Amino acid sequence: MRKKCRRICTNRRRERVRNRFCCFVLLLAGVLNPVHGYAWGFSAHRKIIDAAIHHLPSPLHAFFKAHGPWLHDHVNDADLRKHTVIDEGIRHYIDLDRYSPSMDSLQVWFPMAYDEACERWSEDSLRAHGIGPWHALSTYRRLIVAFDQKDEAAILRHGADLAHYISDLHVPLHTSANYDGKLSNQLGIHALWETQLPESFMDGYDLFPSGPQAIWIENTEEAIWQTVLTSHACLDSVFAFELETRKAFDGKPIDAYVERGRTRQLMRSPLFAEYYHEVLDGQVERRMSASSALVSSLWYSAWIEAGAPEMAMKAPDSRTRWKKVLDWLFK
Ligand SMILES: [Zn+2]
Task: Read off the pLDDT of residues 239-255 as tens digits, 9 standing for 90 and up.
Answer: 999 999 999 999 899 99
CA 149 to ligand 1 centroid distance, Å: 27
CA 88 to ligand 1 centroid distance, Å: 9
CA 12 to ligand 1 centroid distance, Å: 34
The pLDDT mean for the chain works out to: 88
88-94: average pLDDT: 97
In which band, very low, low, confident or very high, does the pLDDT at 97 lie, cut at 50, 70 and 90?
A: very high
CA 174 to ligand 1 centroid distance, Å: 9
Tell me which residue of 58, 70, 34, 1 sits closest to 318, measured CA to CA.
Answer: 70
CA 275 to ligand 1 centroid distance, Å: 27
Pairwise CA distance, residues 179 & 300, whole Å: 31
CA 327 to ligand 1 centroid distance, Å: 26
Please say if the pLDDT value at position 183 is more than 60: yes
CA 81 to ligand 1 centroid distance, Å: 10
Could you list the residue range(s) of the whole structural domain that residue 248 is in?
34-330
CA 323 to ligand 1 centroid distance, Å: 25
Q: What is the pLDDT of residue 11?
A: 54
In which band, very low, low, confident or very high, does the pLDDT at 190 lie, cut at 50, 70 and 90?
A: very high
Pairwise CA distance, residues 208 & 52, whole Å: 9
In a domain, 278, yes or no: yes
295-317: average pLDDT: 87
- Lowest-pLDDT range, 42-46, 129-133, 269-273? 42-46
CA 154 to ligand 1 centroid distance, Å: 19
Number of structural domains found in the chain: 1
Of the two residues 22 and 277, the one the predictor is more confident about is 277
CA 145 to ligand 1 centroid distance, Å: 23
CA 50 to ligand 1 centroid distance, Å: 18
Q: What is the pLDDT of residue 212?
A: 73
CA 301 to ligand 1 centroid distance, Å: 22
CA 40 to ligand 1 centroid distance, Å: 8
Please say if the pLDDT value at position 34 is more than 50: no
CA 224 to ligand 1 centroid distance, Å: 16
Please say if the pLDDT value at position 96 is more than 80: yes
In a domain, 14, yes or no: no
169-173: average pLDDT: 98
In a domain, 23, yes or no: no
Please say if the pLDDT value at position 258 is more than 60: yes
φ, ψ for residue 219 (rounded to 5)?
Answer: -110, 90
What CATH number is associated with residue 186?
Answer: 1.10.575.10
In a domain, 120, yes or no: yes
CA 134 to ligand 1 centroid distance, Å: 14
In which band, very low, low, confident or very high, does the pLDDT at 78 lie, cut at 50, 70 and 90?
A: very high
Give the CA radius of gyration of the chain: 21
φ, ψ for residue 311 (rounded to 5)?
Answer: -110, 120
In a domain, 210, yes or no: yes
In a domain, 16, yes or no: no
In a domain, 27, yes or no: no
Neighbours of 223 (CB within 10 A): 19
Task: Read off the pLDDT of residues 99-130 as tens digits, 9 standing for 90 and up.
Answer: 999 999 999 999 999 999 999 999 999 999 99
CA 37 to ligand 1 centroid distance, Å: 5
Q: What is the pLDDT of residue 33?
A: 45
CA 92 to ligand 1 centroid distance, Å: 5
In a domain, 25, yes or no: no
pTM of the model: 0.84
Please say if the pLDDT value at position 321 is more than 80: no
Task: Give the per-residue SS3 of the chain.
Answer: CHHHHHHHHHHHHHHHHHHHHHHHHHHHHHHHCCCCCCCCCHHHHHHHHHHHHHHCCCCHHHHHHHCHHHHHHHCCHHHHHHHCCCCCHHHCCCCHHHCCCCHHHHHHHCCCCHHHHHHHHCHHHHHHCCCHHHHHHHHHHHHHHHHHCCCHHHHHHHHHHHHHHHHHHCCHHHHCCCCCCHHHCCCCHHHHHHHHHHHHHHHHCCCCCCCCCCCCCCCHHHHHHHHHHHHHHCHHHHHHHHHHHHHHCCCCCCEEEEEECCEEEEEECHHHHHHHHHHHCCHHHHHHHHHHHHHHHHHHHHHHHCCCCCCCCCCCCCCCHHHHHHHHHHC
Q: b/e for 73-86, b at 16 or more Cβ within 10 A?
A: bbbbebbbbbbeee
